Every structure is written in structure tokens, then in C-alpha cells.
A and B are shown apart, each in its own frame.
With several copies, the nearest count.
Chain A
């Protein structure tokens, strides 16, 4: 058992927000069949949103590009999904939420509290939803305020999900920590775009979107590495993890646990595969436990 901000995880892999997280049943499937140590829901907001027009996600040579546009049924409708997940998931369920300002964040968190999520993850980092996400996440004052507002109204751990689309992610990480965050999650997607040269049209319905998958792993590793140095609270690594080797790399950079998003494309049971791979690695290398590798790269000079 791994412990992360008080949550008990059977392995250090977590389903990332917005991936297979729209329904309670899907979250449970990832926890049970997929073997995830914890699961995070789709980001839920104050009012229903249908999201951007399709294409909303495409696979590239390297990685994936998406602009879902934070589709969600709003917290009142999502309550039943979260309840189903909580009642049926063998692993902790974390509610990802977003809003346009601190009080909206607090409203959504309170609205979901009856379903007893094990933690909240604050999405202040979506690169392609006007006025939400990265608009907040690149402003340290707002990040601190949003974090504090949610901390005020909930009694479970609060994670803050950071955007890499800033000059210095540690500033934002510090702001989250100052606001009382129990952990930071890095990274959300990188701003990106693809154009269909046959027609000249941007491929995504929203024209541009967020890059995820293999392409972003080196960026995520660097962000995690820097955050590990800058912060006291745990860093949860996400971005391009698609194998146990990637997970180990992320942990050596300083991640206490990793999230996996796009790589469910390959297979849903990637979580147990990564978990087993990490265990085998620790054993082969003679590391007595996972803490021996968390942040190891910082010691190798």
C-alpha cells in the first residue's frame, strides 16, 4: 500500500482527469479491471457544458491533441456518477473540479461533497476553455485564492493540477502550496495545434487544443523535477507516462505517484502493468521500497 496525501493506493498509478472519467461505471472499470491505484473524474464545473465541436481528439505521430472543452453535466448531475464510483470502486476516487473563480470552485466542491470523494483535484490548467483553466492557472494569486477557497470548504485532501504553459511552473506550484494544497499534479496538456493541409482547416473543432502523450513526457519530467525542488508537498507526475519505465523516470524526477491519461489508448489495464513493472524494478535493483527512487535524480550529481 502506498500513501498519498492520506489516501491509500494499492499502487502509485492514478487515472488522469478527463480520461475515462465521465461516468461512475467507467471509473470503476479503470480501478478494477485497469488496476489503477486511484481514479480521478472528468473535471466537473458549475453548469452543464457540451464542450467543443468534434474533432475533439486526434492521435498524432507523437502524442495526442485534444480540445474537449470541459464537457460535463455540472455537479448536480454528476453526483450520481460520483456516488456510483465511490460505492463500487476498489480504489480512492478523486473529484476533479473547475470554475471561473474561487467561489465557483468552492461551490462545485461543496456540491460534490455529499458523494464523499476521497480528494479533490483543482483543474486550473486546461489550455483550451475560455476563462477557465489555464487563464487561472498562469496567475499565482488566483491559484492561491482558488486553492484556499476549496480548502476552506472541504475536509479531504486538495490537489492542484498545474499547467506547463507558463514561464516558471514553480511559481504556480508555490502559490498552490501557499493556498494550502496537499499536493500538486503536473502537468496538464501543452498548447498545441494541427492543421489538415488538404483543406487548410485546423483539425480540432476548437482550432487549437492540448498536447498529451509521449510528446510531452520530457516536459513533464522537467516540471516535476523543478517542482520537487521548489515545494514541500508531494508532486504527482503526469504527462506521457505509458510504461513502467516512464513511471519510474517520473518518480526519480520527484513524483510521489504518477497519473496516466492518453496511454489508456493502448490498453485499459496499463495501470496494473505499470504497477507490476515498478515492483519488479525495485526488486531487481534492490531498492527496499518506492521511497528510495522518489527524487533520486536530485541526488545523482
Chain B
């Protein structure tokens, strides 16, 4: 479908470089973990996880995100989606662990909320560079226990989410859901692999998206050939065994780039 016209209804500063944009169409049927293609007209179209069924939470990194940061309430952008496969929802009584690094908290926050609403017990490991960068701490805290880690130790454990994870009893969780920078996700992956907990883990990947709808092949990962945009972005830990995760990704031309 052609992009929908989305009008910005509200903008919230989450941290110096992260903002949430609320918009007008509401995707009632979205699966937490799904993404939209956000078209900043005249500039570019980029993938963004849905941080609510009517918001995206964006870190300013380059051209398109900078242009997005210039938009005001009442301005609009184009939206295609929601696309892809989200996180698997737990059933009532299950206990889940959410591991979010940086802006990875964006797609995980609606997931944690939906899991809570479904009757699961939700624990979160929330990591960021420093205290000011912690995203959606309040949303996670409203659901259950939150373990915080910061690189600089300005809040919680000084170090990485893995430093918290190591100290937890993974056997206590029915599901583990992970999203964050790839370096972080691959550390978590290795740790879960060691602890034989990959079966219950899901990871939300980032790759360069062109079509976003599973046709062009730009986002396929080795060696499964799975499409991050359509077969993912959320994959089970088992699907990622032996994959390129943490090793390399491909740029817009399809060239391999080391992580």
C-alpha cells in the first residue's frame, strides 16, 4: 500500500537524542515488535519499531532522523506498515525477562505492556550509556522489577546488560526478549547460548531495509537467508544459531560490513 499520511499529534523528548513522535493513525492490530517504514518526504524512508500503537521513538543519528527532529506537532510524514513479525506474547502466568539496550526499549515497551496485560510477570533489564539515556524506565517499572545498567555507572549496575543478566537465574524465566545495539545482542546471545537458554529467547534485529516488504532481499541474513523485514525483525534464538549476528551486516549496496 502507498504510505498513509500520519500527522504528528505530540512530540516527547525522552533524552537529548531520543524523541517520541505520536501520530494520528493508530494501528490497533499491531503486534509489539513490528515496525513501520517512516517516510520523511523528500529525504528518505527508514524503519522504526512501534513504541506504541500510535508512536515511534527515534534516536537522532543521521540525515533522515535529523529531518524528523525538525518536524513539529501538526506536521506529517508517510507511514507504511506495520510490517514483519513481532515478539511472541506469553500466556497468563508465564514469567518473562525483557532485555532492552538503548533505543531497543522502543519496540520492547509495548511488548512488555502487552505481556503484562496478558497476565505474565514481567522483569526488565534496561541498559543505556548513562542515566539520562535510559528509555521508558517508568513504563517498565509500572509492570514489574527493573534492573538497570549504565555504561558509566550513573545509575544501576555499572557495565552492560549482560553483567546484570549473568547474575539472574535464567531458568526462572519462560521467555526472554531482547532488543538493542547488535554488540549487546550478540553478547546476550552468547551468554544465553552458554546457559542453554536460547530456545526461550527472541531477538529483534536491525539490517538495512529497502523495500521493507520481503521482496528485494536487501535485509537477508546469513546463512538462513531469512528476511529481517518479513521473516523478522524478531527471530528466535534458535533461528540465529550460526548466523551473522554480531559478525557482520550488509550496507545499502549489499557489501558486508563488520559489526
A and B touch in the complex (CB under 8 A): yes
- Chain A positions near chain B (C-beta within 8 angstroms): 18-30, 42, 48-51, 53-60, 64, 66, 68, 71-74, 77-78, 81, 84, 194, 196, 198-199, 201, 203, 205, 261-262, 264-265, 300-301
Given contacts A60-B2, A201-B42, contact A49 B225 (CB under 8 A): no
Q: A23-B225, A68-B216 are in contact. Are A59 and B1 (CB under 8 A)?
A: yes
Q: Which residues of B contact A (CB under 8 A)?
A: 1-3, 5, 37, 39, 41-46, 76, 78, 80, 209-218, 220-227, 250-256
* CB-defined A-B contacts under 8 Å, sample of 24: A18-B216, A20-B216, A20-B220, A20-B227, A23-B220, A23-B250, A26-B225, A29-B226, A48-B255, A51-B210, A56-B45, A57-B213, A59-B1, A66-B215, A71-B210, A71-B252, A73-B255, A73-B256, A77-B254, A77-B256, A199-B5, A265-B215, A300-B42, A301-B42
Evaluate contact between A262 and B215: CB separation under 8 angstroms: yes
Please, how many angstroms separate the alpha-carbon atoms of A213 and B87 in the complex?
31
Contacts of B220 in A (CB 8 A): 20, 22-23, 25-26, 29
A54-B45, A55-B45 are contacts. A72–B254 as well, Cβ < 8 Å? Answer: yes
Which residues of the other chain, A, contact B222 by a CB distance below 8 angstroms? 23-25
Closest chain B CB from A242 CB (angstroms): 12
- Interface secondary structure of B, over-half rule: loop
Q: Which of B43, B76, B216, B220 has the largest count of A CB atoms less than 10 A from its CB?
A: B216
* CB-CB under 8 A for A300 and B41, given A22-B217, A25-B220, A55-B3: yes
Given A51-B210, A262-B215, verify A205-B44 contact (CB < 8 Å): yes
Which of B41, B78, B218, B253 has the most A CB atoms < 10 Å from its CB? B253
Given A22-B220, A27-B225, A71-B218, is A54 in contact with B37 using a C-beta cutoff of 8 Å?
Answer: yes
Contact A265 B37 (CB under 8 A): no
Residues of chain B lying within 8 A (CB to CB) of residue A196: 2-3, 5, 41, 78
B41 lies within 8 A of A57 (CB): no
User: How far is A74 from B254 in the complex, measured between Cα atoms in Å?
Assistant: 9
**Closest Cβ neighbor of A19 among chain B residues:** B215
Q: Which residue of A28, A29, A57 contacts B215 across the interface (Cβ within 8 Å)?
A: A57
When the two chains form their complex, are residues A73 and B39 in contact, meaning their CB atoms are under 8 A apart?
no
Q: Which residues of chain A are within 8 angstroms of B42 by Cβ–Cβ distance? A: 201, 300-301
Interchain CB contact under 8 A, B251 and A42? no
Task: Quote the shortest CB–CB distance from B126 to chain A (angstroms).
Answer: 31
Q: Are B225 and A64 within 8 A (Cβ)?
A: no
